[in-house]
Amino acid sequence: MELILLGPPGAGKGTQSKLLETRYGVAQISTGDMLRAEVKSGSAIGLEAKSIMDSGGLVSDALIIRMIGERIARPDCANGFILDGFPRTVPQAEALDELLHTTKVDLDGVIELKVDEAVLVARISGRFTCAKCGAGYHDLFKRPRHEGVCDVCGSGDFSRRPDDKAETVHARLEAYNAQTAPILPYYRAKGRLHSVDGMADMDAVEAQIEAVLRKIGVPAP
């Protein structure tokens, strides 16, 4: 299965792609997570990306395209992958087409999570993750089953993204509208775009995605 999950910041791409990763045994590829790992390690890529990420803008296409090329060539992608947060610009979408063409991989489809802007701000403001295993939580919508303890790994160490603060969220939504939304018509024209209602609760969104997967011929695991 080769799938793109598309949507604005806070739409639920990470939440849903992690569920699909577990269910289908394919690799979840989040360019945001990859960049945050580069920042944490203090690498050259991390140094280049950090200030841009902190300001809510987009990192250069060249850097991202190189990163993705290396990532999907790794053995854990042999079974397929879900792209979360990539492509984010039309040049990135074009570069992906070329990459898939040369590696003879066929994209199953692009699923767009549609969520109103007011809800996105609420989702981003309450977001936190387990610092150890990366499991995602929300202050209101998904608290750990036992207060202060990660459901998945039992760690008590949680973190919040610096770019999830109110000032930056606005810039990120603008970047989405100006630079990422134009890839919707790009995939629509190719007959690849499928939209689901991302306003629904997590289980209902998951069920809608499963319905799209059946429709486009991806068998249930």
Interface positions with ligand ADP (CB under 6 A): 7, 9-15, 31-32, 35, 52-53, 56-59, 64, 85-86, 88, 92, 123, 126-127, 136-138, 141-142, 163, 172, 201-202, 205
188 tagged catalytic: no
Rounded to an integer, what is the distance from CA 199 to the centroid of its chain?
Answer: 16
| Segment 137 to 166, residues that bind Zn ion, using CB under 5 A | 150, 152-153, 155
| Contact status: 128 vs Zn ion (CB under 5 A) | no
| Contact status: 135 vs Zn ion (CB under 5 A) | yes
Contact 155, 131 (CB under 8 A): yes
Output the CA–CA distances (angstroms, integers) from residue 124 to 137, 186, 209, in the order listed. Answer: 11, 27, 22
Contact 124, 8 (CB under 8 A): no
Instruction: Tally Cβ neighbours within 10 Å of residue 209.
Output: 21
Q: How far apart are CA 122 and CA 21, in angstroms?
A: 26
Quick one: tokens of 28?
């979840």
| Contact status: 133 vs Zn ion (CB under 5 A) | yes
- Among the options 13, 18, 36, 50, which is catalytic? 13
- Among the options 142, 161, 188, 192, which is catalytic? 161
Give contact residues for Zn ion (rule: CB under 5 A). 130, 132-133, 135, 150, 152-153, 155
Write out the catalytic residue numbers. 13, 88, 127, 161, 172
